[in-house]
């Protein structure tokens, strides 16, 4: 397993989350002069996006994120996005948060599967960051935060070998291998089957630096070509015209990771609903995380260092519904098995000693698994930052 996978996973899933939230906030926003107090406006949308992006690219969190470390469990990673989505005045109930996370994970899984070569996962990440920068064009301070992360990505990843990127891709595919959630957009575009598995194309550009299949060359022991044999392929392959740019600014060429919700289309998820699917989710969530104790201990130290936006005074949090109607959202919540629940503990991150003591009390009541033998706290406790977002 690659120790350099976590930043790419976090940033790409975060990018997909921002795409979905932006689309739904735009769909539900009302012109400012016509909006009631409890209705969304475009000002609210921008505030939500700015707050979430500010929290997501917090300097302290990014420093910990980029330290070489293993991936954590799906349930633990989910925790950060629960906290991240609520880092502003926006509030999602459990059913909408489930749907949001399903859309995020399946979209990035599809992008990883379609990458022509492992190194192109970095271009997918750059596409997400390019789009995030578009969301915050009028906020130079937040833009600097994203650019700093961009520079870290370039510094750390552009020098990695093809073999190291292959290991990163393999690590991502292992993480996603049991996720087969049906998504309406993919079903309508016929890139996903009814069982939730993706349909991979046998056409299009081949990876940069490779040739279109159809020719076999044979060489003698001296390395001289002695024979050529051509064969016919079923796919319509083409040679790419140029390689995507790995610079801070440039044409990525690859379209994977761009905003597929920029076109007006509903954000829907069709859950498979089979008992087999639900059982697999339940099994996944009951497996203890061997790093939980270190993660929670680290959280106790770092939680006060991150600022989380909470509605103050008479201001109330705005609720966002990722379903078409409130009835659909309520039905999804009622039909959701209890064992799939991800409980979110909302804690205001401040430096007050009393609140830190309360945090320690809450953490002490949580049932955690003992760390695996030989594990060290350093480099293995990034997830502890998640509730601090």
383 C-beta neighbours (distance < 10 Å), count? 25
Asked if 96 and 20 touch (Cβ cutoff 8 Å), the reply is no
Q: What SS3 class is residue 201?
A: coil
pLDDT of residue 345: 34
278 C-beta neighbours (distance < 10 Å), count? 16
pLDDT of residue 282: 40
The predicted model gives 326-355 an average pLDDT of 50
pLDDT of residue 229: 94
Asked if 224 and 233 touch (Cβ cutoff 8 Å), the reply is no
Distance, CA of 143 to CA of 248 (rounded, Å):
13
Centroid of chain to Cα 212: 32
Asked if the model's pLDDT at residue 41 lies above 50, the reply is yes
Distance, CA of 112 to CA of 229 (rounded, Å):
33
Asked if 92 and 320 touch (Cβ cutoff 8 Å), the reply is yes
Higher pLDDT, 153 or 316: 153
Q: How far is CA 198 from CA 124, 190, 192, 194, 288, in A?
A: 18, 9, 4, 9, 29
pLDDT of residue 117: 94
Distance, CA of 116 to CA of 121 (rounded, Å):
9
Contacts of 305 (CB under 8 A, 6+ apart): 60, 349, 388
Residue 50, token pair as written in the block: 């700015």
Average predicted confidence (pLDDT) for the chain: 76
Most confident of 72-86, 102-116, 292-306, 347-361: 102-116
Residue 130, token pair as written in the block: 């390019």
Structure-token match 């707050």, residue found: 51
pLDDT of residue 337: 55
Structure-token match 């509605």, residue found: 311
φ/ψ of residue 85, rounded to 5: -65, -25
Distance, CA of 126 to CA of 111 (rounded, Å):
13
DSSP strands (E only) in the chain: 90-91, 182-183, 204-205, 215-219, 225-230, 237-238, 269-270, 318-319
% of the chain with per-residue pLDDT over 90: 42
Asked if 339 and 285 touch (Cβ cutoff 8 Å), the reply is yes
Nearest CA to 244 out of 292, 281, 205, 278 is that of 205
pLDDT of residue 12: 97
DSSP strands (E only) in 262-365: 269-270, 318-319
Contacts of 99 (CB under 8 A, 6+ apart): 269, 322, 323, 332
Distance, CA of 64 to CA of 7 (rounded, Å):
10
pLDDT of residue 307: 45
Asked if 352 and 280 touch (Cβ cutoff 8 Å), the reply is no
Nearest CA to 216 out of 231, 195, 196 is that of 231
Q: What angle do CA 176, 177, 182 make, to 5 degrees?
A: 75
**Distance between start and end Cα atoms, the chain:** 26
% of the chain with per-residue pLDDT over 70: 65
Residue 142, token pair as written in the block: 């937040």
315 C-beta neighbours (distance < 10 Å), count? 10
Higher pLDDT, 271 or 47: 47
pLDDT of residue 18: 95
| Residues in a beta bridge with 229 | 216
Taking only the tens place, the pLDDT of each residue in 176-222 is: 998 999 998 899 999 999 999 999 888 888 999 888 999 999 999 99
């Amino acid at each position: 397993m690659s120790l350099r996978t976590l930043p790419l996973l976090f940033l790409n899933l975060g990018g997909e989350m921002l795409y979905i939230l932006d689309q739904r906030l735009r769909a539900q926003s009302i012109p400012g002069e016509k909006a009631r107090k409890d209705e969304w406006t475009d000002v609210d949308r921008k505030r939500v996006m700015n707050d979430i992006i500010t929290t997501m690219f917090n300097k302290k969190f990014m420093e910990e994120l980029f330290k070489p470390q293993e991936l954590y469990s799906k349930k633990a990673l989910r925790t950060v996005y629960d906290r991240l989505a609520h880092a502003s005045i926006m509030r999602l109930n459990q059913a909408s948060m489930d749907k949001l996370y399903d859309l995020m994970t399946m979209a990035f899984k599809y992008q990883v599967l379609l990458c022509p070569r492992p190194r192109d996962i970095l271009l997918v990440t750059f596409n997400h960051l390019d789009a995030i920068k578009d969301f915050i064009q009028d906020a130079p301070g937040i833009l600097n935060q994203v650019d700093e992360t961009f520079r870290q990505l370039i510094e750390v990843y552009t020098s990695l070998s093809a073999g190291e990127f292959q290991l990163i891709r393999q690590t991502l595919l292992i993480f996603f291998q049991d996720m087969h959630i049906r998504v309406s957009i993919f079903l309508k575009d016929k890139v996903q089957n009814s069982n939730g598995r993706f349909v991979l194309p046998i056409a299009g550009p081949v990876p940069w630096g490779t040739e279109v299949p159809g020719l076999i060359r044979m060489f003698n022991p001296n390395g001289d070509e002695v024979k050529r044999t051509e064969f016919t392929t079923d796919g319509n392959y083409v040679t790419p015209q140029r390689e995507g740019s790995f610079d801070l600014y440039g044409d990525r060429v690859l379209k994977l990771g761009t905003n597929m919700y920029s076109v007006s289309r509903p954000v829907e998820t069709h859950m498979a609903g089979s008992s087999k699917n639900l059982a697999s989710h339940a099994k996944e969530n009951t497996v203890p995380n061997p790093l939980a104790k270190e993660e929670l201990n680290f959280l106790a130290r770092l939680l006060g260092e991150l600022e989380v936006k909470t509605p103050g005074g008479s201001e109330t949090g705005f609720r966002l519904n990722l379903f078409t109607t409130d009835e659909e959202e309520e039905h999804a919540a009622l039909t959701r098995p209890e064992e799939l629940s991800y409980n979110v503990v909302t804690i205001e991150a401040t430096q007050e000693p009393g609140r830190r003591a309360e945090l320690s009390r809450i953490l002490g009541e949580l049932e955690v698994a003992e760390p695996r033998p030989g594990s060290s706290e350093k480099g293995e406790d990034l997830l502890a930052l998640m509730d601090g977002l």
